Structure 1
């Protein structure tokens, strides 16, 4: 399996993954006219984030988005994992684990990065089990949000 930064020409695959993920995990239909420029904006401006992909059997098997949060408490950047998706035909083959371990290696090899966070729908028990199996703690903080 090869884990790498996604390329701009792979944006359409990531857009399709995001539409599938929202439908599957939250029964939400994303508006393609909004998600398309949203994904492309990440490729146009690295300060917004970075997409990573996992290649398996010559195909993009999964992807995730990294965004950034400055922590004054820790004097470093926390990498947020977002928009995780693994194509159905590749599930159970360690795709997410490989993506996560790649991000963990980035954090461990840099003095600028101090941790990894992600949020997960509390009803998504499959994802919670995967994240906890990888050593992530879901007990420390709750998340509140206001979205326009």
Structure 2
């Protein structure tokens, strides 16, 4: 199936926010505050220097989204795109939706003088996602992720 990959319209903000709420519940059994998520998604729309949302569309319906944010790499003298907030509607999983989105971004990076690569992180227990990432040619690297969150 062919998917259209594009930046979302402002009218699709609620769809993206709901995808984030659904993802948090599904992957971490975490109930997010709807108002906070709506404001967070809108903030990205209002401040594209932070990053960009991308959506996949099929049959005039948004079926997936992801957020790309920038990491400056002094080693590479350019930005690395980090994929965050990836969500694919359950009925479209295992149908190449993320592969289409990733291919779109990879081609954008390859043509760009600004971007140097693509990274993402994945929950250690999310083996299905890890298999997808490896199947499309991403590699598990030697870095571990540490964080402190308020």
**Bin for the TM-score computed over the shorter chain:** over 0.9
Segments of 4+ moved more than 4 angstroms: none
Alignment match, 1:115: 117
The size of the alignment, in residue pairs, is: 148
Cα deviation for residue 132 of structure 1 reads 0.9
Moved more, 56-65 or 77-86: 56-65
TM-score (norm 1): 0.97
Q: Which of 129, 141, 144 pairs up with 1:142?
A: 144
Spell out the pairing of 1:72-111 with structure 2 (5 A cutoff): 72-111=74-113
Spell out the pairing of 1:25-40 with structure 2 (5 A cutoff): 25-40=27-42
Q: 1:24 aligned to 2:26?
A: yes
Inter-partner Cα distance in structure 2 for 1:30 and 1:100? 26
Cα deviation for residue 141 of structure 1 reads 1.0
Cα deviation for residue 137 of structure 1 reads 1.3
Cα deviation for residue 139 of structure 1 reads 2.9
Alignment match, 1:132: 134
What residue ranges of structure 1 are gaps of 5+ in the alignment? none
Alignment match, 2:51: 49
User: Aligned with 1:74: secondary structure?
Assistant: coil
Alignment RMSD (CA, Å): 0.8
TM-score (norm 2): 0.96
